[in-house]
Copies of this chain bind each other. A is one copy, B any other.
Amino acid sequence: MELFATKGYETTTVDEIAATAGVARRTFFRHFRSKEEAIFPDHDDTLVRAQAVLDAAPPHENPLDTVCRGIKEVMKMYAASPKGSVARYKLTREVPALREREIASVARYERLFTRYLLGHFDEEAHRDGVSGYDEPLLAEVAASAVVTAHNHVLRRWLRSGGVGDVEAQLDHAFAIVRRTFGTGFGASRPASGTPAATAERRDEVLVTVARTDAPLGEIMATIERALGRG
């Protein structure tokens, strides 16, 4: 990173990198296939860790929560070395080859999460016997929303010099996105075993979701409890 910052990325050779690191050129190429790869060494490992989070998810966790935990593995990788991440970000903005590589990495996470959500939305929809529900569409949209929120928080943190608790900022961002867009998630498919009515207060608003066959008295009691007037 020091070499790239002082000499420029394009003009720095692998020989110079190897010499500065005190290793042979062959050693460099045992670890990395290219200069680009030396800049982004961790995406393969991070994908494996994100996949592991998905694989180990508790069976009744909301699949969107699982995916949010999955992408936190990416954030942790950046947060582990703020200075290095900021330097790499600056470089990435200047070198088109690195930017393309980064776009490709983002696409890999999106595909991983889309596949996961697809499997899990699908399962739920089948269990509830709901048809006309477009799982592939919703899985891709949800995965892209999670990845976009993550990238937004990451970019803001990198631009501000990598200062502050970016993982907490990510949790906060997910909470805002879920509060804003997530309300109706699954609303068109009431899961069996869920209560007939639920109510949730958010600031000055009360959102109630009820089965259309729920007794009115039960809906009312739920609302009164949520408003603290029951």
Which positions in A face B, CB cutoff 8 Å? 100, 103, 130, 133-134, 136-138, 140-142, 144-145, 148-149, 152-153, 173, 176-177, 179-190, 201-214, 216, 219-220, 223-224, 227, 229
Contact = CB atoms under 8 A, between A and B. Distances in A.
A157 B223 CA distance: 44
Given A202-B187, A205-B211, A176 B145 contact: no
Q: Which of A130, A205, A229 neighbours the largest number of chain B CB atoms within 10 Å of its CB?
A: A205
The 3 closest A-B pairs by CB, nearest first: A183-B184, A208-B208, A144-B148
Given A140-B148, A223-B216, A206 B207 contact: no
A133 to B, nearest CB: 8
A216 B187 contact: no
B181 A145 contact: yes
A64 B81 CA distance: 38
Q: Which of A137, A177, A190 neighbours the largest number of chain B CB atoms within 10 Å of its CB?
A: A137
B205 A187 contact: yes
B209 A207 contact: yes
A202 B10 CA distance: 57
Contacts of A220: 216, 220
Given A100-B100, A133-B176, 10 more contacts: A103-B103, A137-B149, A138-B176, A141-B149, A181-B181, A181-B185, A204-B213, A208-B208, A208-B209, A216-B220
A113 B8 CA distance: 34
B216 A188 contact: no
Contact of A205 (B177, B201, B203, B212): B212
Given A184-B181, A184-B183, A209 B206 contact: yes
Contacts of A176: 133-134, 137-138
Given A212-B206, A229-B216, A141 B137 contact: no
Given A144-B145, A149-B141, A184-B183, A210 B216 contact: no
Given A144-B145, A212-B206, A137 B173 contact: yes
A210 B208 contact: yes
Given A152-B136, A180-B187, A188-B179, A201 B212 contact: yes
